[in-house]
Amino acid sequence: MSEERTKAADEMFCPSCGEVIKKEASICIKCGVAVSNKKPAGLNVSEKSRLTAFLLCFFVGVFGSHRFYVGKIGTGVFQLLTLGGLGIWTLVDLILILTGSFTDVTNKKLSEWDTSYR
């Protein structure tokens, strides 16, 4: 009970139980809850959902919908006008999304399938 709740520079509080954990930790060692973090490792990770982009690309990709979704308006319009490069461009995008290589307008990769916890 007398334990001080202080944290070092490389530590943070677990959002679930409040335990002090390492910032690099992806899971809290105390409560086992996955810790959402937007630092270092996540710097190049888009906050856009890969799943949403995939679904948009899969169903209405020829209209450039997935590109509008990630903020790539310019190429989105172009894709819309060319019907996704007659489907080929859309197919390439679909593969990029599936492999996690698709990027948003800020050049961050859409590597998270589920971003709802952010």
Residues near Zn ion, by CB under 5 A? 14, 16-17, 19, 28, 30-31
Task: Give whichever of 12 and 57 is closer to Zn ion, judged by the CB atom.
Answer: 12
Task: Give whichever of 18 and 87 is closer to Zn ion, judged by the CB atom.
Answer: 18
Q: 3-class DSSP state for residue 13?
A: strand
Question: Measuring CA to CA, how many Å separate 50 from each of 39, 68, 85, 108, 115?
Answer: 19, 14, 21, 12, 8
Task: Give whichever of 33 and 55 is closer to Zn ion, judged by the CB atom.
Answer: 33
State the nearest-atom distance from the C-beta of 42 to Zn ion, in Å. 19
State the nearest-atom distance from the C-beta of 32 to Zn ion, in Å. 7
Instruction: For tokens 């948003």, name the residue.
Output: 104
The answer to whether residues 111 and 105 touch, using CB atoms and an 8 Å cutoff, is no
What angle (nearest 5°) sits at the alpha carbon of residue 98, between those of residues 95 and 99?
Answer: 85
Task: Give whichever of 31 and 51 is closer to Zn ion, judged by the CB atom.
Answer: 31
Select from 109, 81, 85 the least CA-distant residue to 97.
109
State the nearest-atom distance from the C-beta of 19 to Zn ion, in Å. 5
State the nearest-atom distance from the C-beta of 118 to Zn ion, in Å. 17
